[in-house]
Amino acid sequence: MNAYTKPKILALGGSLRRASYNQLLASEVAAGAVAAGAEVTVISLRDFPMPLFDEDLESESGKPEAARRLKELFASHDGLIIASPEYNSSITAALKNAIDWVSRGDSEGEKNLSALAGKTAVICAASLGALGGLRGLVHLRSILGNIGITVLPDQIAIGSAFEAFDGEGHLKGEAQAKRVHAIGASLTKHLQKLLA
């Protein structure tokens, strides 16, 4: 990597809720990535409203505008930070739907997964429960791995999320904040080696 190249990382939470703890967590991991030298774009899935993936809809109308914009963002970044809530021991419908739309090719010559395969990701979760969303991360890791995304082994799951963040959306505990920032830094360092 030359001195003028920074890894580009896309960070997002898997929830549509306005006050999402996972959106806050994605931003905290992103801060660690930025401190380590990455350029990070933090987005909210709320800003990309999409219908449920439907191949008939895709054939008749093409990719929805929000899905097209989201796919362009995925394609233009080297790595991903995904903070995923746990819904019924799995990932959210919103996150799965986003992945399904982004995974699709837009033209006859473009392969499916072109915007996803080959990326590197770190995953994390925040939950009101004691396990912090760990069960959902198992499913997310499997999904991402099966579509060609390398998921780094380190992950964070924060339980009792309602008391983990301060009024400004930052993690309260210094030790926990360091752990969270460290996985962002780990992704940056991994990408720096890949891009060198």
Exposed/middle/buried for residue 159 (C-beta within 10 Å: 0-12, 13-18, 19+)? middle
pTM here is 0.94
Select from 57, 26, 49 the least CA-distant residue to 98: 49
Q: What is the mean pLDDT of residues 99-121?
A: 89
**Rounded to 5, what percent of the chain is helix, strand, coil?**
45, 15, 40
Percentage, residues of the chain above pLDDT 70: 96
**What backbone torsions phi and psi does residue 124 show, to the nearest 5 degrees?**
-160, 170
**pLDDT at residue 182 is higher than 80:** yes
pLDDT in tens, 114-143: 999 999 999 999 999 988 899 999 999 999
Q: Cite the beta strand spans of 20-164 per DSSP E.
A: 39-44, 79-83, 120-126, 150-151, 156-158
Please compute the mean of the pLDDT values over residues 153-177 and round it to a whole number.
94
8-195 under CATH 1.10.10.1110, yes or no: no
What pLDDT does residue 111 have?
82
**Residue 1's pLDDT band (boundaries 50, 70, 90)?**
very low
Q: Are 94 and 45 in contact (CB under 8 A)?
A: yes
> What is the mean predicted confidence (pLDDT) over 15-35?
97
